[in-house]
Structure 1
Amino acid sequence: MTEPGHEPLIVVVLGVSGAGKSTVGKALAEGLAVPFLEGDDLQPAANIAKMAAGHSLDDADRGPWLRTLTDRIRQSSRSGRRLVVACSALKRAYRDELRGAAPGVWCLYLALDRDTARARVSRRTGHFMPVRLVDSQFETLEPLEPDEPGTTVDATGDPGATVARARHAVAGLGSEPPG
């Protein structure tokens, strides 16, 4: 956990598809008056096509995307700019790589159950992720561990309530960047 009185320089909002990463991430970025980075926008076309066809990504598929995210985090940190990133970051190894890009990377894991995720993904329009891949995301998911900088927020309810819980979690960290 980040020390009290220290706000993260980079907040990574993570979870399975349908958890509300984009909604929460945009709201946090707006509230913190910092840029928002949508991880899906950095997915290579081949990854999007593979997922749209109903095939899960593997570590080799995710590698270039993860390196791009890591580079963006590193650039933001080096320029002294705070950032909120929305991305799945389903495995600890992915989060470790993102945290290795810069000091002050803090993770906000949006937790929800499979049924809620499936229902939300099935209602989305214009997104490449089909509902049939939700189960594979849960199979890959390694929830945030106690020794990882960050916290878990229940994302099963109303999106507004999830945003409020997320804002409270980030606000509780203070206003000074990590040292």
Structure 2
Amino acid sequence: MAGAEAPCALIVMGVSGSGKSTVAKALGERLGWRFEDGDSFHPAANVAKMSAGHPLTDEDRWPWLNAIADEIGRVCEAGEHVIIACSALKHTYRDVLLRGRDDVRFVFLKGTQELIADRLAHRKGHFMPPELLTSQFRTLELPEASEHVITVSIDESVEAIVDGILRQLKFGGTKPMTTKT
């Protein structure tokens, strides 16, 4: 990746409770990029379904994923940058989000089911009930290197996680990536 420019979009991915929104927001603040929570792209029917404790089906997810992909396309075409928190659990979901783009990168927040279950047990005010975590891990297809992914452990502080992401997002040798604004 030496000499490459910053991607137009970073998608911070992982199961519910892995810290996607928190890490993506902190990463956006550090880079000066806009943050979007992928949850805000869900149709109301999806939110209601998850709030009732029912996992989403692939059919439920397609409109949501396409709405996020549309936003990524808009941002990239405008020459802007965005960080989006989105579970992106399956290879096919990530393919929809990319739409063949090579200027988008995934950041996978990796953690054990036990650690994430503990975090979910203490989280307040989120529509995703902790009981659905098992279905999220069952659905998760670990990202592969060919998907332009950076993998970071969530066993550290948010600041340390962001530092680890920035270390891996090197462009032009050892310097952190630069952005065009």
TM-score after normalising by structure 2: 0.90
SS in 1 for 2:132: helix
Q: Tell whether the 8 Å contact from 1:74 to 1:101 is kept in structure 2 after alignment.
A: no
SS in 2 for 1:88: coil
Q: 2:3 aligns with which of 2, 5, 8?
A: 5
SS in 1 for 2:83: strand
SS in 2 for 1:19: coil
Give the structure 2 partner of residue 31 of structure 1: 30
Kindly state the Cα deviation for residue 160 of structure 1 after the two structures are TM-superposed. Answer: 3.0
Query: In the TM superposition, what whole-angstrom CA distance separates every residue of 1:91-111 from its partner, at most 9, and x where no partner exists?
Result: 011111111164401000000
SS in 1 for 2:15: coil
Deviation >6 Å, runs of 4+: none
Give the structure 1 partner of residue 136 of structure 2: 137
Give the letter aligned to residue 119 of structure 2: R
Kindly state the Cα deviation for residue 33 of structure 1 after the two structures are TM-superposed. Answer: 0.9
Give the structure 2 partner of residue 82 of structure 1: 81
Whole-angstrom CA distance in 1 between matches of 2:69 and 2:24: 17
Whole-angstrom CA distance in 2 between matches of 1:169 and 1:130: 32
Q: Which runs of 5+ in 1 are unaligned?
A: none
Kindly state the Cα deviation for residue 129 of structure 1 after the two structures are TM-superposed. Answer: 0.6
Q: Which runs of 5+ in 2 are unaligned?
A: 172-176
Whole-angstrom CA distance in 2 between matches of 1:59 and 1:28: 29
Give the structure 1 partner of residue 63 of structure 2: 64
Give the letter aligned to residue 152 of structure 1: T
Give the structure 2 partner of residue 21 of structure 1: 20
Alpha carbons of structure 1 residues 159 and 32: separation in structure 2 relative to 1, 3 Å: closer
Give the structure 2 partner of residue 175 of structure 1: 178
Percent identity reads 41
Q: Tell whether the 8 Å contact from 2:33 to 2:81 is kept in structure 1 after alignment.
A: yes
Give the structure 1 partner of residue 92 of structure 2: 93
TM-score after normalising by structure 1: 0.91
CA RMSD of aligned residues (A): 1.5
